[in-house]
């Protein structure tokens, strides 16, 4: 007796919901990097650099876990925050890491060869938030903003004026914003910090996640205080579906960036919670005279 033929049900790719860095729920059928806008990049065959363009993906529905400002620890004031910062800054200024950072900046920016347009820091964490969970990151945040201010101070000494300074962090509260303003740094909300970046920016992104790194890469800043980018050359189990090879694009972006950059591994600074672990400074290579365009 012949077997009864049945129509096979079409195989649908399993769709997954995820929450992106902005707190929105999206639906995808791919396991590529999530939360990062699609990139359209072209590598310059002469300079080895790239030109990037970011396209914002469609938002489907809001989720209930949008990052929100942390409530400040009870009794905190701008004065108490500034006092804690001053103590931490004094320790920071005596470190080998601080001295090396200033030396490299002066060597690179000295003589008016480069002009920094603005300075932007991403993801320092709240300086006074009460939702610290199992790790108290207040001290790390103060150390990182001290490093950021050191760069701005050095740029001011070289360029003769304080550069516009901005800080983006979803957990900043109104006290954080007031503390930053007291130090001439403007708090901004996502995505304004990324929109402020250009090819003459200084960027500091301590312990940034890959989606933040890729956004910064697409703007090709003049100087970037960050870490090694070696991890961007590994797929981490990501697959390619629907003709989208995001892993390859990410590698190409990182590779193009590295071709145009010099870097320095900065000295260690042994502190609780490792706020400067693996810090590296990246800056654009200075072309030799024969390499410059006519």
Q: Is the per-residue pLDDT at 59 higher than 50?
A: no
Pair of tokens at residue 51: 């030109």
For 184-197, the pLDDT digits (tens) are 999 999 999 999 99
For 78-87, the pLDDT digits (tens) are 999 999 999 9
Q: Is the per-residue pLDDT at 157 higher than 80?
A: yes
Residue 247 banded pLDDT, cuts 50, 70, 90: low
pLDDT at 72: 87
Tell me the mean pLDDT in the region 54-76. 60
Lowest mean pLDDT among 19-33, 119-133, 232-246, 267-281: 19-33
The mean predicted confidence, pLDDT, of the chain is: 78
Tell me the mean pLDDT in the region 255-268. 93
Domains defined along the chain, listed by start = 20-70+78-291 (3.40.50)
């Amino acid at each position: 007796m012949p077997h009864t033929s049945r129509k096979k049900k079409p195989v649908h790719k399993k769709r997954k919901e995820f929450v992106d860095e902005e707190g929105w729920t999206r639906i995808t059928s791919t396991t590529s990097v999530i939360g990062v806008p699609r990139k359209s990049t072209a590598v310059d065959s002469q300079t080895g650099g790239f030109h990037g363009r970011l396209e914002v993906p469609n938002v489907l529905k809001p989720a209930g876990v949008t990052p929100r400002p942390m409530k400040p620890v009870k009794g905190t004031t701008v004065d108490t925050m500034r006092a804690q910062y001053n103590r931490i800054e004094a320790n920071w200024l005596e470190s080998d890491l601080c001295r090396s950072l200033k030396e490299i900046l002066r060597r690179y920016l000295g003589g008016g060869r480069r002009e920094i347009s603005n300075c932007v820091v991403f993801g320092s964490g709240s300086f006074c938030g009460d939702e610290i969970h199992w790790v108290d990151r207040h001290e790390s945040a103060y150390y990182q903003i001290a490093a950021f201010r050191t760069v701005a101070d050095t740029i001011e000494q070289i360029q003769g004026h304080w550069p516009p300074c901005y800080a983006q962090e979803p957990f900043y509260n109104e006290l954080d914003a007031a503390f930053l303003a007291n130090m001439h740094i403007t708090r901004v909300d996502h995505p304004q910090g990324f929109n402020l970046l250009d090819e003459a920016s200084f960027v500091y992104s301590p312990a940034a996640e890959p989606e933040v790194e890729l956004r910064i890469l697409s703007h090709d800043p003049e100087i970037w205080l960050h870490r090694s980018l070696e991890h961007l050359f590994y797929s981490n189990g990501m697959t390619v579906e629907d003709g989208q090879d995001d892993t390859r694009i990410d590698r190409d972006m990182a590779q193009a960036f590295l071709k145009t950059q010099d870097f320095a591994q900065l000295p260690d600074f042994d502190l609780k919670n490792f706020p400067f672990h693996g810090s590296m400074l990246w800056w654009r290579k200075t072309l030799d005279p024969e390499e410059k365009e006519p």
